A and B are shown apart, each in its own frame.
Chain A
Amino acid sequence: MSTTPRLSHSAALILKALSLGYCFGLDVMDVTGLPSGTVYPALRRLERDDLVLSNWESEKEATASNRPARRYYEVTKAGKAAALAATERYPLLAQFVQEKPS
């Protein structure tokens, strides 16, 4: 039996954006077009369900660039499986979010 959680469309979109390299809340909002009221609580839910992990940028590095440190999100192994399952469930998902230009 599969243990991959079934995600809502917006949660799947956010997870997809994170798995494509958009790791900050503001970036996810920009690329998905979702409002902040959807993105931030969804990120919290994904983190609670162990699909994403959040960490803080190095304070020293951020201060050196004259900006505050940000919280960034990473997709876990379970999150990658969930993103894959969500792409199968929502085939048009890949069209909404493009890979982050390096």
Chain B
Amino acid sequence: MSESFERGLPLLDRALLRWVGRIVPSSDRLEWSRSWHAELWYMRHQCHSLKATMIADFSIGMTRDALWLRTESWRRNSIGTATLCLCSLAGLSLFAVLIGLALAGSWRSLNAYAASHVGRSLVAGTLVVFVSFATASRGHVAKNSKISWAAKVNRQLFLAWKIALVWLVAFFLSADLSVPVFMQIPNTSDFFQILDFILLALTGLRWALLDQELRCKECLHLLTTPARVGRPSRNLLEWNGSEMNCKRGHGLLSVAEMETSWCEASRWIELSRYGATGDGVPE
């Protein structure tokens, strides 16, 4: 936009644009500023009976537009990230604790209940972890990947956090579910609690392991845009399965439809290693 049009706006408008513009993500700021300059110019020059309410309305509109761009940028950047996954699990465990608190009536009763059940749940939890790892699918083990040491540590830490949070959610949810049972049949509530805990923890851990497999090996983003490759009818002649990409371009995961002797596990292909064109990707 030319300077003359910018100068054509009153000081108030220019100050508003400058201040509200700070909310807008830097990548969108220029475009946002240009389009609001134009809108304000037309408002000033086309509306014959300009009222103070109209200026106030435009200020609100400008701010809401800037806020929308900011929240959209947060949403775009956080969707599928490891942080969002851990925050969601932490939120779920807090929710389970709050339900427990509402059912127990006070922190003291909730503490007493948790203290009396935590030992048993720890033993059951260890068994559940053992069973989950022992029965987890080995189909997604990326044997040919050369992932950095730091990325491997981050990956294991992320899994450990997920398991801990899943355990917490399962423990408190099982406690929440057993409280009404305790009021009706006190003798069997312990049995119900441990049964609920095992079921919830098993389901949660299965999910945690599956989720781990479907994340980028470098940045832990959820892999997106699954695409089918090959034809199942030609399974013995050529590779078929699905491929998922890391949206940051670190690589893609090829998951075979059926395990064969020449393709037992899925493969993580690092695109950064082979270049954007995929030259040199092993057959």
Contact check, B37 vs A68: say whether CB atoms are below 8 A apart.
yes
Contacts A35-B57, A37-B61 hold; do A68 and B68 have CB atoms under 8 A apart?
no
Contacts A41-B65, A68-B1, A69-B1 hold; do A36 and B57 have CB atoms under 8 A apart?
yes
| B151, chain A: closest CB distance, angstroms | 32
Contact residues in B for A25 (Cβ distance below 8 Å): 39
Q: Which one of B34, B39, B41, B62 has the highest number of Cβ atoms from chain A below 10 Å of its Cβ?
A: B39
CB contacts under 8 Å to A, within B1-51, are: 1-2, 5, 34-35, 37-39, 41-43, 45-46
A26's contact among B39, B63, B72, by CB below 8 Å, is which? B39
What separation, in Å, do the CA atoms of A6 and B71 have in the docked complex? 22
Contact residues in B for A37 (Cβ distance below 8 Å): 57, 60-61, 63-65
Contact check, A41 vs B5: say whether CB atoms are below 8 A apart.
no
B192 part of interface (Cβ distance < 8 Å): no
| B241, chain A: closest CB distance, angstroms | 26
Contacts A35-B61, A36-B58 hold; do A44 and B42 have CB atoms under 8 A apart?
no
Contact check, A40 vs B38: say whether CB atoms are below 8 A apart.
no
What separation, in Å, do the CA atoms of A38 and B68 have in the docked complex? 11
What separation, in Å, do the CA atoms of A11 and B96 have in the docked complex? 36
A77 part of interface (Cβ distance < 8 Å): no
| A98, chain B: closest CB distance, angstroms | 20
Contact check, B64 vs A41: say whether CB atoms are below 8 A apart.
yes
Number of contacts between A and B (CB, 8 Å)? 58
B60's contact among A35, A63, A68, A70, by CB below 8 Å, is which? A35
Contacts A37-B64, A40-B64, A40-B65 hold; do A71 and B35 have CB atoms under 8 A apart?
yes
Contacts A35-B57, A68-B5, A69-B1 hold; do A44 and B35 have CB atoms under 8 A apart?
no
A36's contact among B35, B62, B72, by CB below 8 Å, is which? B62
Contacts A40-B65, A68-B38, A71-B38 hold; do A26 and B60 have CB atoms under 8 A apart?
no
A63 closest partner in B (C-beta): B2
The B interface is mostly helix, strand or loop, or mixed, namely: helix
What separation, in Å, do the CA atoms of A39 and B60 have in the docked complex? 11
B69 part of interface (Cβ distance < 8 Å): yes
A44 closest partner in B (C-beta): B68
What separation, in Å, do the CA atoms of A93 and B266 have in the docked complex? 52
What separation, in Å, do the CA atoms of A37 and B61 have in the docked complex? 3
B38's contact among A39, A44, A69, by CB below 8 Å, is which? A69
Q: What band does the interface of chain A fall in when counting residues whose beta carbon is under 8 Å from B?
A: 10 to 19
| B38, chain A: closest CB distance, angstroms | 5
What separation, in Å, do the CA atoms of A85 and B213 have in the docked complex? 40
Contact residues in B for A35 (Cβ distance below 8 Å): 57, 60-61
B71 closest partner in A (C-beta): A41
Contact check, B62 vs A70: say whether CB atoms are below 8 A apart.
no
What separation, in Å, do the CA atoms of A67 and B40 have in the docked complex? 12
Contacts A25-B39, A69-B38, A71-B38 hold; do A39 and B68 have CB atoms under 8 A apart?
no
CB contacts under 8 Å to B, within A28-66, are: 35-41, 44-45, 48, 63
What separation, in Å, do the CA atoms of A59 and B109 have in the docked complex? 70
Contact residues in A for B1 (Cβ distance below 8 Å): 68-69
Chain B residues proximal to chain A, CB less than 8 Å: 1-2, 5, 34-35, 37-39, 41-43, 45-46, 57-58, 60-65, 68-69, 72
What are 7 A-B residue pairs whose CB atoms fall within 8 Å in the complex? Answer: A35-B57, A36-B60, A36-B61, A36-B62, A44-B72, A68-B2, A69-B1
